[in-house]
Amino acid sequence: MAESIDVIRSLIGFDTTSSRSNLDCLDFVHDYLDEHGVSATVFPTDPQKANLIATVPGRDGATTGGILLSGHVDVVPAAPAVWTATPFDASIADGRIIGRGAADMKAFCGIVAAWLTRFAHVRPRWPVHFLLTHDEETGCAGAHAIAPHIEQLAPRVCVVGEPTGCEVATSHRGCTRWSTTVRGVGAHTSDPALGVNAVHGAVALLSALTSIARENADRATVTVTSINGGTAENVVPDACTMAMELRCDSSSVESEIEAMVSRAVACVDTDLRAQHPQAGAEIHTVVRVPPLTAAAPDRSDRVVSELIAVLSPDETTAGSVRYGTEAGIFQRLGVPTVLWGPGSIDQAHTVDEYIEIAQIETCVAALDRLSAWLEA
């Protein structure tokens, strides 16, 4: 376990806040695995961001199929001034590793990286793939970018290592975020009839969205998260922007509500254009993270069934979790996918974020069982 802790602390040492590059962190993982005889490839998506995939071939030399263990290395921002610890210099105290990303989810990433090195000279029954992604925290851009390659690898099952307390979770809601721009026509407020008030248009849209949220409260949440408009107190606003979010656990419900939102925007657009040809409203999708469906993975597939039993031998399950992940992206590729990893979401994104060393021990023990299963 000491090796796992060392790798975890090294990963925390890289400031991989989503707004920053993750290349140094991935180079570290690549070199660490390479030094231990495990092949890894870095897949750049832009000059500052990349994903990494390491594959240990199966006993028969196969490099497709098998199991996929997936994590993200980006983290949310940390304000050092309000931490009692140093966010990107992992410390150990009171049986905990403290640092940004300790729970979400560099502990899992570090444990798996250390565990994977045992296969440098021992081939598992099936290939083992290890994926590290970027920008999960801001919309899963890394997972979306690497999805075609994962589809080619065709794993039989995927484990996304989000902090579930090392209990298997099989579902979560999806999340779609939109940005709406309402365009008006500026004028002096001494004669507002000469202009078209964009804020008034946004208020009409807000009213429609509030109705949509109430009508669908039993199956989804529709939330307006910000509104910005106007430039001065004596100017009719010529623009107003609105951010909104939809969360639900069904792709069909997502499509229905998205259609309702689009119709509401179209009605506001028509009304504004009737007042002036330069006025109007438009909506753009900013983030789309699919749900992990509530249906349990196909336990008739022996690999899936046995893997779940290895990870959670007492069949303890977290069921559904309240946060979104990359898991739905992999599930949409046809890969049975579950969530399972050390730590608690209650510590994620917090000041003095930490993971209990006892949780690391539990995760390492589970991966030891996984090794025995793969080496049998």
Could you report the per-residue pLDDT of 81-107, keeping only the tens digit for each? 999 999 999 999 999 999 999 999 999
Secondary structure (3-state) at 284: strand
Rounded percentage of the chain residues whose pLDDT exceeds 70: 97
At residue 131, the 3 state secondary structure works out as strand
The architecture CATH gives domain 174-289: 2-Layer Sandwich (3.30)
- 70, 330 Cβ separation under 8 angstroms: yes
Class of 2-172+291-375 per CATH? Answer: alpha beta
**Half-sphere CA count of 370, side-chain side, radius 13 A:** 27
pLDDT reported for residue 205: 98
CB atoms near residue 241 (< 10 Å): 14
Q: What is the pLDDT of residue 25?
A: 98
DSSP string, 154-193: --SEEEE---BSS-EEEEE-EEEEEEEEEE-B--BTTSGG
Q: What is the pLDDT of residue 318?
A: 65
Q: Would you say the pTM of this structure is higher than 0.85?
A: yes
pLDDT of residue 120: 81
pLDDT for res 315: 67
Separation of alpha carbons 88 and 80, rounded Å = 9
Give residue limits of the domains in the chain.
2-172+291-375, 174-289
Query: Computed from CA positions of residues 75, 81, 87, 93, in that sequence, does the dihedral angle turn out positive or negative?
Result: negative
Give the single-character DSSP code of 323.
Answer: S
What integer pLDDT is reported at residue 298 of this predicted model? 56
- Quick one: pLDDT at residue 5? 98
Is the pLDDT assigned to residue 297 strictly greater than 60? no
- Span 226-266, pLDDT tens digits: 999 999 999 999 999 999 999 999 889 999 999 999 999 99
Residue 35 pLDDT more than 80?
A: yes
Residue 296 has pLDDT above 70, yes or no: no
